Chains A and B, each alone.
Chain A
């Protein structure tokens, strides 16, 4: 019997509708819905859904230490592992491959267990932050705007945006498409004006713009209706929070109707510990058991979890070489496309009815309920924060670089070392378009270390060679380096600070000496 089900593609926040045909629970084909919001169009990711759902690596049986076991055995092991550890040595995490309801259930379970180590593995959610007074763009604003300014490679990550943007552009020659990115992306060819900026310097285009960028920003400011699209995956831009705040600050200063469209997930406020801290605790042995909901094999691929005695995760795909080591328990769940629940999208919250999934899998909600029953606890009900608006004080802090000054103050206590920070944080100090092989120091620091302008120095244990550049307005004890330089990057530590919702490059104290 052929089954047809309309689903909202949960693989990106655009929320395309499509029809999936299946036979006896085996999805085999998709149909394009021309009357849907996106007119039946579907990107390569959406088109690949049948390939993912019928992937040979689909997991259909719980897996303990690389061997298939029954669900009963899996729950027995799960209870045994969890009852062996106290709450401080357990961490509960999840990723974006969960519906909103499932995220709430998982958080409820963590709270009932008394586990403080909760984290959300989706660095993009920090980009959902808004400044006060900034209007969010709707689909109509995107089509009716006179000028669209895109920062980032929109067409690669979200090709579904191509049709509305290009149609609007070609229909009216007065419309403008402006693009800024650190490499010539697909959009460059379609843009009226494009600017290629050095990696990690995107935030600086609003504070210290070169002439060509100034002209672009003026063009955008003069338009009656404009949309600023920000595609800022962390890792590509080194300080996304700074870029988000500066772009919104620029929008607030523009006359006319201006809208903001960050193409990232619109949820914030999950978890209570940054991922960096959890990973550090795993490394130090404080956390001994990680309970991860989502696609554990993807999570496992990113981070070294070898010091962890017990990894318990859910997943729809089954990659032996990464997931199944000693002490690992994998619980098969339906793929996110098959699950029933709500998903956030750019244009609101979507509800998916779900489709019949592979036999042998259990829904995350079912697993949570069964686990709670086994452990004799009642999962708490928790809500989530759908969006967060940055207060004026927080905005000013980012703009002024308050944290940078705090770092500089602390540095005075240390004499022999120089505190290295990413140039980008030091927005007010400028110098972003410097080459990556320089270290900027204050005149006092240079004198203290007996260094002169242009001299070559070695920095840190790895002895990274850089040229000294003296900057008068820098505080003492602070060194500005560029993360465009790969060797410098090795000296820095990257973490996710969940309190301020920011991917940050931690300042590091490094010795420098004349080469």
Chain B
């Protein structure tokens, strides 16, 4: 992979702007998913955080697809052809991160392709109001300070629903 999406949890306010950006472009498909985390400390604190596709090197969704609808391009982006998808849900079951979901209206699975039609990069990153989502070179990831700016509360507090 040349470039990947990373989530800086210190900035994420859970506004779901990225999800709307995705839905507005891909005709109400939600290719970026949300995770609901809750604290194990017993406090009633919940948080929503974006779960973008990892575009795995050894992508299980790609292997699981019985019709080779999910493919990988030269940049390492794992993408899916919505026209060819038959909605068998094999990729949804195979994804170890649970980031692929089914579109009940169109009977297909929704798979992030990092907005291959947009030169500037994914729309979710461009629209992120707080700058939590970043589209960076894989080599640059360690340079980014992520999740180290905690101020006073638990990390869960900052993303109350």
Q: Which of A152-174 contact B (CB under 8 A)?
A: 155-156, 159-160, 162-163, 166-167, 170
Q: A34-B120, A47-B20, A47-B21 are in contact. Are A41 and B129 (CB under 8 A)?
A: yes
**Are the CB atoms of B129 and A43 closer together than 8 Å?**
yes
- CB of A375 closer than 8 Å to a CB of B: no
- CB of B128 closer than 8 Å to a CB of A: yes
**CB pairs A–B below 8 angstroms (14 shown):** A40-B127, A42-B129, A159-B17, A159-B130, A162-B15, A162-B129, A162-B130, A163-B11, A170-B10, A186-B160, A188-B160, A189-B158, A190-B151, A191-B151
- CB of A416 closer than 8 Å to a CB of B: no
Q: A32-B127, A47-B24, A163-B131 are in contact. Are A42 and B153 (CB under 8 A)?
A: no
Tell me which residues across on chain A come within 8 A of B126, comparing CB atoms. 32, 34, 40-42
| Interface residues of chain A: helix, strand, loop or mixed (majority) | helix
Tell me which residues across on chain A come within 8 A of B157, comparing CB atoms. 184, 188-189
- CB of A197 closer than 8 Å to a CB of B: no
Q: A47-B21, A159-B17 are in contact. Are A190 and B120 (CB under 8 A)?
A: no
- CB of A89 closer than 8 Å to a CB of B: no
**Are the CB atoms of A185 and B160 closer together than 8 Å?**
yes
Mark interface residues in B12-32 (1 if CB within 8 Å of A CB, else 0).
Answer: 011111011101110010000
Count of chain B residues near A, Cβ 8 A? 32
- CB of B143 closer than 8 Å to a CB of A: no
Tell me which residues across on chain B come within 8 A of A159, comparing CB atoms. 13, 15, 17, 129-130
- CB of A389 closer than 8 Å to a CB of B: no
**Are the CB atoms of B159 and A51 closer together than 8 Å?**
no
Query: How far, in whole Å, are A455 and B155 apart by their CA atoms in the complex?
Result: 46
- CB of A30 closer than 8 Å to a CB of B: yes
**Are the CB atoms of A160 and B129 closer together than 8 Å?**
yes
**Are the CB atoms of B130 and A189 closer together than 8 Å?**
no
**Are the CB atoms of A163 and B129 closer together than 8 Å?**
yes
- CB of A48 closer than 8 Å to a CB of B: yes
Query: How far, in whole Å, are A48 and B18 apart by their CA atoms in the complex?
Result: 11
Query: How far, in whole Å, are A49 and B23 apart by their CA atoms in the complex?
Result: 11
- CB of A29 closer than 8 Å to a CB of B: yes
Of A42, A166, A167, A189, the contact of B159 (CB 8 Å cutoff) = A189
Tell me which residues across on chain A come within 8 A of B131, comparing CB atoms. 41, 162-163, 166-167
Of B14, B127, B155, B160, the contact of A184 (CB 8 Å cutoff) = B160
Q: Which of A1-49 contact B (CB under 8 A)?
A: 29-30, 32, 34, 40-44, 46-49
**Are the CB atoms of B158 and A190 closer together than 8 Å?**
yes
- CB of A428 closer than 8 Å to a CB of B: no
Q: Which of A433-464 contact B (CB under 8 A)?
A: none
Mark interface residues in A49-64 (1 if CB within 8 Å of B CB, else 0).
Answer: 1110000000000000
- CB of B41 closer than 8 Å to a CB of A: no
